[in-house]
Amino acid sequence: MSTHNVWTHKGTFLLAAVGSAVGLGNLWRFPYLTGENGGGAFILVYALTIFAVGIPILIAETMLGRASRRSPIMGMRFLTRTHQASRAWESIGWLGAASAFLILSFYSVIAGWAIHYTWLMLTGSLVGADAATIGAGFDVLLASPGLLTLYHTLFIIASGLIVGMGIHKGIENGLRIMMPALFVILLVVLAYSIANGDFAAAASFLFTFNLADLSLEGWLQAMGQSFFTLSLGMGAIMAYGAYMASDASLSRTAFAVAFVDTAVAMVAGLAIFSLVFGAGLDAGAGPGLMFVTLPLAFAEMPFGGLIGGVFFILVLGAAISSSISLIEPVAAFLVERFDLTRPQAVFVMVVASWALGLLTVISFNTWAEGSPFHALFGRSAFDFIELLTNIFMPLGGMLIALFAGWALTHSEVMKEMRTGETWFQVWRFLVRFVAPAAVAFVFLRTIPQVEGYLIPTLGALIIVGAFAASRTFLAGNRQEQ
Ligand code: PHE
């Protein structure tokens, strides 16, 4: 049975959802993807997807959580029962749990790099260092399985401790301290970068929209990024939604989450590119942008060690507030389903995900190119796991949109959304047609790049189609009209 926990305040869900959304996706992934894809045009597609696809799915996912008041797996089981829908919809919960487990495994390793750089910055080790030294330092870090494992372990333990303390004492209290601090630090870093960097170049890079700059691959990445950055399609938002106060507004909250998340990404982008351009460096460095290019910019600037250290603390805080939302859905499921205590459930989730994370650790060294894994899958274990989540998250998002759009009745949705008929119609059109079509488009276009996954991806799409056409589904739909 569900524990029917509810957040302490009406606004706590917003805090928790923002905590989940704002993370490495905003500070690390968004700037480097934008840099690689030529700036403004990428942002345009990203912003459009956030509004047309992200927000409607965010509303849908929160709604499923709050309507069931259970962890994603048990919640979907409950909803399929109460709606006489096919139990196959439960796959939303399972896909989510699998994604959470997979994402946490590599998220924790990458967040671990930020521990290393916080240390390097605060001790002033990089002050005055040149590009070759800083680049080599990053390579040495990646080449050391021991060091990577140490940081990965520290990060995942810290996240586990917070979730283990419960949603009130651990998650709420943690977020209440961390989130305001993060916003303050972000503004300090922005002010510093305006003073020391080239703000005008950053602004024109980010806000000059030239669609011709954008490759097809860039389109796909922009869409994938909008799912990742809003934590959509994998149960985190659903798990937090299960604790949301019944009288908090779904639509307003979803807009606020998307707005803050986008604003943080933009501010981070402006700050990082100001520093990077100010130091005359290249924006298109890829994943190394934050760990090589940015430290280099700090190395040349006044108080760079201190501000750089503070910046990496920001990265760490944002990563922890996201990783706890990856642990919560699975831990809550283990508590509900197997009657474990919360600390036991967190322990199981964290240890399993930690162990899987070791694959990411060795992807950068012992199992880098040339390993049997590479030979078998044509990519590193880390790339493989990331690819899986890039398939699972949009797939989960699409199923959530379809279930909320087609299986839930008008009156139920209205009970949760409590909004005017016009917005309801717009929302339902978006989740019924636009969001699924956008995701299907992404999948179809991705296929040529991942031929090896053609069959599974097509299979998944066919299963989705079968759900949509299943008799139970049609019955649920008809009864509402
Ligand atoms: N949204 C987080 C980020 O931007 C990542 C995340 C994805 C967190 C999915 C939870 C669930 O870093």
Q: Could you tell me if the CB of 323 is within 6 A of ligand 1?
A: no
| Unique residue bearing structure tokens 């919960």 | 93
First CA to last CA across the chain, in angstroms?
32
* Model confidence at 454: pLDDT above 70: no
Which residue has the CA at smallest separation from atom 9 of ligand 1?
Answer: 231
Average confidence (pLDDT) over 346-354? 97
User: Cα 455–442–229 angle (5° rounding)?
Assistant: 120
DSSP letters, 135-194, are HHHHHHHHT-HHHHHHHHHHHHHHHHHHHHT-IIIIIIHHHHHHHHHHHHHHHHHHHHHH
Average confidence (pLDDT) over 190-205? 93
Q: Could you tell me if the CB of 229 is within 6 A of ligand 1?
A: yes
* Model confidence at 345: pLDDT above 60: yes
Q: What are phi and psi of 23, to 5 degrees?
A: -165, -155
Ramachandran sector of residue 420 (left: φ over 0; alpha: ψ -120 to 50; beta: rest):
beta
Q: Mind spelling out the 3-state secondary structure of 346-395?
A: HHHHHHHHHHHHHHHHHHCCCCCCCCHHHHHHCCCHHHHHHHHHHHHHHH
Q: What are phi and psi of 246, to 5 degrees?
A: -65, -25
Q: Could you tell me if the CB of 108 is within 6 A of ligand 1?
A: no
Å from CA of 460 to ligand 1 middle: 23
Quick: pLDDT tens for 245-279.
999 999 999 999 999 999 999 999 999 999 999 98
Å from CA of 257 to ligand 1 middle: 13
Å from CA of 215 to ligand 1 middle: 25
Ligand 1 atom nearest to 30, measured from its CA: 4
* Model confidence at 448: pLDDT above 70: no
Which residue has the CA at smallest separation from atom 6 of ligand 1?
Answer: 231
- Please answer whether residues 43 and 34 qualify as being in contact, where contact means their C-beta atoms are separated by less than 8 angstroms: yes
pTM above 0.85, yes or no: yes
Q: What is the pLDDT of residue 379?
A: 80
Å from CA of 225 to ligand 1 middle: 10
Quick: pLDDT tens for 87-117.
899 999 999 999 999 999 999 999 999 999 9
Q: What are phi and psi of 371, to 5 degrees?
A: -80, 165
Sign of CA dihedral 433, 16, 223, 382: negative
* Model confidence at 469: pLDDT above 70: no
How would residue 481 be classed by pLDDT, with cut points 50, 70 and 90? very low
Q: Taking Cα atoms as reference points, which of 404, 388, 422 lies closest to residue 102?
A: 388
Q: Please return the burial class of 113, using the count of CB atoms within 10 Å of its CB with bins 0-12, 13-18 and 19+.
A: buried
Å from CA of 100 to ligand 1 middle: 9
